[in-house]
Amino acid sequence: MPTVSNAYLSNFIETSVALGAPAEALYALVPGGKAAFSHPDARFPAELTATVLNAAAELTGVDSVGLRVGMQFRPATFLDVGYALAAASTIREALEINIRYQPLTQEVARTRLEITRTETRIVLEPAFPDAEAMRRVTEAILAGYASIGRWLLWDQERPVAAVQLRHAPPSAETCAFYRALFGEEVTFGAPADMLVIDAALVTRPLPNANPALVQLLTGRLNARLGAYEAGSSMRMLVISGLHKQIRKGKPSLEETAKLLGMSGRTLRRRLMEEGLSYSELLAAARKEAAEVYIHEEKMTLLDIAGLLGYGDQTAFMRAFKGWFGVSPGAYREKLRERRG
């Protein structure tokens, strides 16, 4: 059964709520309600994306809710996959990263690239064949591609050459919204759902390119994709839960257990059975986060120490040197040298 991640479905709901849909009504559509989102690695049936957006449209009277949700997509919407997208060297690399790790966020539609000399087609391969029932999800995904592409390029002009959609034309208001978002070349009743952009755009260098960060993140994502395909291990579950909490301070075992839907006693037992230590997993999560944050030149060492839950900068610097063998400042200097 196709599924979507906790973060992906939550984004659909929260953005719909910001557009005026009542939160209680939307969360009531999810088995277990809002409490079901407390587990960071929870997965939900992919068709709930359509259920939520269709309900939001009915509750708000806004037929274009799918497009409006997709317009709010940013790389951060997709967590580590999003970090890698934001650090890509070209739109093509960003698209290829998204395609490779798409199952980690959603399985409602896979994407493939068709590149010719003059244009690039971003084609959706939906998990559900009913184009009308899935219309607003398709709109959200394609609007998301357009929004993230503009964000990555720092180009708010329209980089979309054409859009083709399987579903019938929606309301006049929504058709007008399509034209405002994508331009005049919008075709309904097409054989496939796709976004078409100029071929030159996919190879244009991106201003925030960071190959070292992409290499680091894709290494981690490969491990997570492997764990997802095999069934998540306790180590992956706990580290994922810790990443959700680290920005709020040093997370305790009891807090992490609650987030994972179990008692502290059960978590201790499960960790012991797998030969794992909570303190070692916390250190591993902090190390992973530090290795990402240190690439962000705008973040001071004090900022990073705070985000990792350290009481002071000295403790963070001592931990960092233990992980990487050099001080944070020296590590950053090496990164600058590699970038030239």
Does one domain contain both 185 and 241? no
Confidence check: pLDDT of 166 > 90: yes
Give 154's pLDDT tier (boundaries 50, 70, 90).
Answer: low
Q: 91 lies in a domain? A: yes
Where a domain ends, among 157, 182, 203? 203
Confidence check: pLDDT of 165 > 90: yes
Q: 196 lies in a domain? A: yes
Q: 299 lies in a domain? A: yes
Three-state DSSP at 133 gives coil
pLDDT digits (tens, 9 = 90+) for 251-302: 889 988 888 888 989 999 988 888 888 998 999 889 888 888 888 888 899 9
CA distance 108 to 46: 5
Where a domain ends, among 149, 183, 203? 203
DSSP letter assigned to residue 131: T
Pairing of strands 160-164, 186-187: parallel
Query: Which of 47, 15, 5, 3 is closest to 29 using CA atoms?
Result: 47
Q: What is the pLDDT of residue 156?
A: 58
Q: What is the mean pLDDT of the chain?
A: 87
- Number of structural domains the chain divides into: 2
Mean pLDDT of 46-53: 95
Residue reference for tokens 């060492």? 301
Mean pLDDT of 23-46: 88
pLDDT digits (tens, 9 = 90+) for 231-250: 667 887 788 888 878 877 77
* 223 to 6, 42, 219, 283, 286: CA distances (angstroms): 19, 18, 7, 18, 17
Mean pLDDT of 208-231: 85
DSSP 18-40: HTT--HHHHHTTSTTGGGGGGST
pLDDT digits (tens, 9 = 90+) for 183-211: 889 999 999 999 998 888 888 888 889 99
Q: 269 lies in a domain? A: yes
Higher per-residue confidence, 229 vs 125:
125
User: Which helix (H) or strand (E) is 5 found in, with range?
Assistant: strand 3-5
CATH code at position 169? 3.90.1520.10
Q: What is the pLDDT of residue 73?
A: 81
CATH code at position 259? 1.10.10.60
Residue 327 half-sphere exposure toward CB, CA atoms < 13 A: 6
Query: Could you list the residue range(s) of the whole structural domain that residue 260 is in?
Result: 233-339
Q: 221 lies in a domain? A: no
Q: Report the share of the chain in percent with pLDDT over 90.
A: 38
Does one domain contain both 56 and 133? yes
Does one domain contain both 161 and 257? no
Mean pLDDT of 169-180: 90
Does one domain contain both 169 and 315? no
Does one domain contain both 44 and 182? yes
Confidence check: pLDDT of 327 > 90: yes
DSSP letter assigned to residue 155: -
What sign does the dihedral 319-321-327-333 (CA atoms) show?
negative
Give 227's pLDDT tier (boundaries 50, 70, 90).
Answer: confident
Mean pLDDT of 152-176: 83
Q: pTM to 2 decimals?
A: 0.73
Q: 110 lies in a domain? A: yes
pLDDT digits (tens, 9 = 90+) for 126-148: 999 899 999 999 999 999 888 88
Three-state DSSP at 7 gives helix
Does one domain contain both 186 and 65? yes
Q: 224 lies in a domain? A: no
pLDDT digits (tens, 9 = 90+) for 87-117: 999 989 988 998 999 998 999 999 998 988 8
Does one domain contain both 199 and 157? yes
Where a domain ends, among 164, 185, 203? 203
Confidence check: pLDDT of 152 > 70: yes
User: Which helix (H) or strand (E) is 134 found in, with range?
Assistant: none
Pairing of strands 109-115, 43-45: unpaired
Q: 227 lies in a domain? A: no
Confidence check: pLDDT of 153 > 80: no
